[in-house]
Amino acid sequence: MPGKSKNLCLQEGMAVQYTTLKVRLYPSPEQAELFEKTFGCCRYLWNQMLSDQERFYEETGTHFIPTPAKYKTGAPFLKEVDNQALIQEHNRLAQAFRLFFKNPDAFRHPKFKRKKDSRDSFTACNHVFESGPTIYTTKDGVRMTKAGIVPAKFHRRPQAWWKLKRVTVTKTRTGNFYCCILYECPVKKPESVIPTEKTAIGLKYSMAHFYAADNGSMAGAPHWLRQSQEKLAKLQRQLNRMQRGSKNYRETVRKYRLLHEHIANQRRDFVHKEARRIANAWDAVCVRDGSLEELSRYAAGGNLRDSGYGMFRECLRVKLERQGKPFILVDRYAPVTRTCSACGTEQEAAGGRKDSWRCPKCGAMHQREINAAKNIKAWGLARYFQLQERRDSA
């Protein structure tokens, strides 16, 4: 029993952890056609369930979402795809409504999906029967219901004791298929790490260097979008001179999308590697809890959106938590840039942006971003130990 095994793991000092492996799929033309049908059926089912829910609410004033079985009689093509994908689409819509009813300010009302705007994806859960599981991996492929064994390229193999829970198949705008395989694996509970001033690091976002650390180090991340700007502009000029819908136009659009996908992959690769390096090297990381969306409005040249700092911060949080290390957030309105890290004197807000400044009280010379990183680290550790004292006293 799944519940009994989970409780057993917790009793033995183990915890349940979920790990996702992303693999590239190379489906045959028949399998690719089946995937396309599944994408369309999931989109059709979502719109039908949402439409019936709105009509039912207007007539009765109560919330109700019909099950996928109701639509198979009027739409026989739904029987051609995996039934698990349709069930998960129903669960996803129900979850969207639960989040909306719980917090309407943070989650919007579910909307209808359009083919040109929606993401092509579907999810199917794995079920284990006496004859075997419905979804499993082979040496060079992934076996799925109705699709059979789909050839895949694995960059990493799951351990023997991992339990496959579900798969999510997606198609990118460039026509590539990917599969995210979710595993449930028992791991030993990480011991809580108590940070010290020497084993903690403070990070401050930097438009020029991605981040600045309190020890003076900089990430020096390249601006991938800026480096490829000339290639993107050249392809855009070619598109403007071509006839829309022609063969050359479609091929150039594919090259344009491939270049953007390559830029996104470069950014994602750097973010994960840098987050892993920091999580392994330090016992605690202090960052500013700033609104990146608000900051991007004032960032010149779109550097914030190009850097992927928000993705980096989230990856860092997850990797630290899995090792039992604290990820400490400092108040977004804390004057970390204007406060002297040597004596604590807060300078008055002045117009303009200076890369360095001298403290009027102690005379210490500060580099603006490094000084802010030092304050983030000091205030973050102070807040962390205050919370620890409250928990111990309670």
Q: What is the pLDDT along the chain (394 residues), one digit of tens a residue?
A: 444 445 544 556 788 899 999 999 999 999 999 999 999 999 999 999 999 999 999 999 889 999 999 999 999 999 999 999 999 999 999 999 999 999 998 899 999 998 887 789 999 999 999 888 999 999 999 999 999 999 999 999 999 899 999 999 999 999 999 999 999 998 888 888 899 999 999 999 888 888 999 988 888 878 888 888 899 999 999 999 999 989 999 999 999 999 999 999 999 999 999 999 999 999 999 999 877 776 666 655 555 667 888 899 999 999 999 999 999 999 888 888 888 888 888 887 654 567 888 888 888 888 888 999 999 999 999 999 988 888 888 6
Closest CA to 146 of 86, 68, 72, 73: 86
**Per-residue model confidence (pLDDT) at position 167:** 97
| CATH code at 200-223+261-393 | 3.30.420
**Per-residue model confidence (pLDDT) at position 12:** 66
Q: For the chain, give every domain's residue range.
A: 2-188, 200-223+261-393
**Per-residue model confidence (pLDDT) at position 298:** 60
**Strand runs (DSSP E) across 120-199, as ranges?**
121-125, 128-129, 132-133, 136-137, 141-144, 148-153, 163-171, 177-188
- Cβ(134)–Cβ(87) below 8 Å: no
Sign of CA dihedral 112, 114, 118, 123: positive
- Cβ(269)–Cβ(359) below 8 Å: no
Pairing mode, strands 284-288 and 200-206: parallel
**Per-residue model confidence (pLDDT) at position 80:** 94
Q: In the 8-state DSSP scheme, what is residue 68?
A: G
- Cβ(186)–Cβ(14) below 8 Å: yes
pTM of the model: 0.84
Unique residue bearing structure tokens 């026509």 = 175
**Residues forming beta bridges with residue 123, ordered by sequence position:** 168
CA distance 142 to 148: 8
CA distance 137 to 156: 12
CA distance 197 to 36: 54
